[in-house]
Amino acid sequence: MSGANGIKILVVDDHFIVRIGLVALINTEPGLKVVGEADDGRQAIALFEKLKPDLVLMDSRMPGKSGHEATREIRRLTTGARVLMLSAFDGDEDIHTALEAGAHGYVLKSATGQELIPAIHAVASGKRWIPREVASRLKSRNGYEQLTAREVEVLKELALGLANKEIAERLGISEYTAKDHLKNILAKLRVADRTQAVTSALQRGIIHL
């Protein structure tokens, strides 16, 4: 996919220091060239349409439109678009969501430059890039029964510290139904209480604060 001037890359990250570090790293590598920078999902989509990069290096969590949402939109605009997700989060649900959105690889921000550069080359050339530790996290997801959309909504309210009655009122359901959802959540997450449920959901990336 790369042109005569090498692989053109759009770097997307809402943290300025991280972004300029990525740009500096990439631009020192022969055959790679950063053609644009974005600090949120909406700007990423706009610059993708304008610059037509060979690859988007996308931060997963950003204010406003997330990296996952921006990836879905970019893939809708151009089905052949190549996206490499870069994330500080290694929860199995975070990884699953990124790949489901259309990312072709997932690299943790703890990775070194020696690990990131090969990932960029691989994804830009049409391959997938799932490091061993990421694949292991993703595999662990298969051991859990998946939560329903309503159960995730209840979890988000739990994370706010609300009681069953308050959750029921906010979601327009009965207190009995709220309790029933909580029972199912505890069973599916394999935890004993509400606090453990919220902790597990945050660690896995099912919900975010």
Angle of the 194-204 helix axis to the 92-101 helix axis, nearest 10: 40
Residue 56 burial by CB count (10 A; 0-12/13-18/19+): exposed, middle or buried? buried
Strand-by-strand arrangement of the 7-12 sheet: 32-38, 7-12, 55-59, 83-87, 105-108
Q: How confident is the model at residue 208 (pLDDT cuts 50, 70, 90)?
A: confident
Give residue 4's pLDDT: 56
Task: Name every residue whose Cβ is closer than 8 Å to that of residue 70 and which is 6 or more positions away in sequence.
Answer: 12, 41, 42, 44, 45, 58
pLDDT tens profile 158-167: 999 999 999 9
Q: Please determine, for residue 191, whether its predicted confidence score (pLDDT) is greater than 50.
A: yes
d(CA 73, CA 182) in angstroms, rounded, equals: 33
pLDDT band at 209 (very low <50, low <70, confident <90, very high): confident
Distance CA 184, CA 122 (A): 41
Task: Please list the residues that pair with 137 across neighbouring strands.
Answer: none
Residue 114 has pLDDT above 60, yes or no: yes
- 7-141 placed in CATH 3.30.360.10: no
CATH 3.40.50.2300 range(s) for the chain read 7-141
CATH code 1.10.10.10 region(s) in the chain: 146-204
CATH topology of domain 146-204: Arc Repressor Mutant, subunit A (1.10.10)
40-86 pLDDT, tens digit each: 999 999 999 999 999 999 999 998 899 999 999 999 999 999 999 99
